[in-house]
Amino acid sequence: MYIVGFLLVLGPLVTLHELGHYLVGRWFGVQAEAFSVGFGKELAGFTDKRGTRWKLSALPLGGYVQFKGDMNPASVPDPSAPKEEGSFQHAALWKRALIVAAGPVTNLVLAIAIFAAFFAILGKPTITGTEDSRIIGAFAEGSVAEKAGLKVGDTIIAIDGAPITDFTDLREAVALHPDKRLVFTVDRAGNALTVPITTARVVIKDDFGNESAIGLIGVEARGAEYVLEDVSALEAVP
């Protein structure tokens, strides 16, 4: 099932990528000899009035565009082919550069368009409230912080008088002091409280077998909360 899903996503993405190469190449007068959806044996196809063979091939692993002068679908130049007009090698260097860049640019534009469509239809995620990683979102089982009296929603603002600016500060301050009494200053509904907590001592082992003790209090940061906000088509563009 995963393989089917992968192919269903990969096929259109690569095809559009190659279509970007094709369209810019055609704009600059470079002739495409073949444009294939998939690789391998041709299952069906037709030749248009410009001489391009459009085909559906057996292996649905993307696709390719083969320009005049290419030795194979991988766009390897044919050393025996003359640099005649309409071939990729005959085009100016800046034109070839733009043709090569057109594929990734097409994928980038497609990604922006997909996100914009999702945002326009479903709404754009917008953070609500305060995004502050110092706010306690949950406790681990057996948390010493919970046993000491901290509550979900408390904001840890200092440890032993040292200001805490984010969850990284909190984690580092606690980890350096295993099995030690620390005084936490927290904001609870606008009121400053001090809560002494003795950190838990946990022994960890690195990839080389070395052991070290760190302190833990068993708290998790509250994640940011989002709502889907209706936006205009222009605002939906990431």
Give the catalytic positions in this structure. 18
Are 155 and 132 contacting, i.e. CB atoms less than 8 angstroms apart?
yes
Q: What is the largest CA-CA distance in the chain?
A: 82
Angstrom distance (rounded) from CA 127 to CA 60: 40
Nearest Cα to Cα of residue 235 among 150, 76, 125, 153: 125
Strand order in the sheet with 155-159: 162-163, 155-159, 181-188, 191-198
Angle (CA) 113-115-116 rounded to 5° is 60
Cβ within 8 Å of residue 72, ≥6 positions away: 66
What the block records as the tokens of 86 is: 């309409």
Q: Distances in Å between the alpha carbon of 166 and those of 6, 190, 192? A: 39, 18, 17
> What 8-state DSSP symbol labels residue 135?
B
The answer to whether the CB of 202 falls within 8 A of the CB of 178 is yes
In this structure, what token pair is assigned to residue 97? 């550069």
Q: What share of the chain is helix, strand, coil (3-state, %, to 5)?
A: 30, 35, 35
